[in-house]
Amino acid sequence: FLWMISASFKDQNEFFKNKLGLIPQNPTFDNVTRIWEKAHFDTYFINTVIVTFFAVFLVLIMTMLAGYAMGRYNFVGKKVVMMVFMSSIAIPLVSTIIPTYEVIKSMKLVGTKLGLILAQAGGAHVIFLLLFSSFFEQIPGELEEAAKVDGAGSWQSFFYVALPGLGSTAFLVLVLSVI
């Protein structure tokens, strides 16, 4: 990575003369300006930022809400659902590429930003769901009961009781999703 950054600040002669050197002798910004102007790198960069932002946003929302349901509520089949999620970790992500493409193709979203966002956000994010689930499971039930006594509904209980302490877990999921 460092070599790649270093090479971008070398002119062509210096690059071939001193291939493995990390520090350019005569740093130049010609390569950087050329890639922004002639290769339309600004468009690619903006597209990457847009897709990353919305994909990470969707992953955060989906895994947070699913983690809340799995961590706070007891329902029939909860253990089976958790076992399915846990066992899905063993499925290699590579084996889901073709089915994901087929779903995006059936939705007629191939070649669109929305298709790319959905493909990125719909991947294997079970670890994030388990992180959120274990976080929400640790919140004392008395806090939600107190909120309900005060007249809070399920969504208000989620936003005012569970969400405020979620910062570090949400930040971890955010960083890992961007990577």
12-68 pLDDT, tens per residue?
Answer: 888 888 777 788 888 888 888 888 888 888 889 999 999 999 999 999 999 999 999
pLDDT at 40: 82
- What pLDDT shows up at residue 1? 78
Considering the entire predicted model, what is its pTM?
0.78
Specify the pLDDT at position 118: 92
Contact status, residue 110 vs residue 104, Cβ threshold 8 Å: yes
**Structure confidence at residue 54 (pLDDT):** 95
Give the mean pLDDT of the chain: 87
Question: Taking a C-beta distance cutoff of 8 angstroms, is the pair 145, 82 a contact?
Answer: no
Q: What is the model's pLDDT at position 163? A: 84
Q: Is the pLDDT of residue 177 over 90?
A: no
Please, which pLDDT band fits residue 122 given cuts at 50, 70 and 90? confident
pLDDT at 107: 95
CA distance 7 to 15: 7
Q: Pinpoint the alpha helices (H) of 38-166.
A: 41-72, 78-88, 97-106, 113-121, 126-137, 141-149, 154-157
pLDDT of residue 76: 92
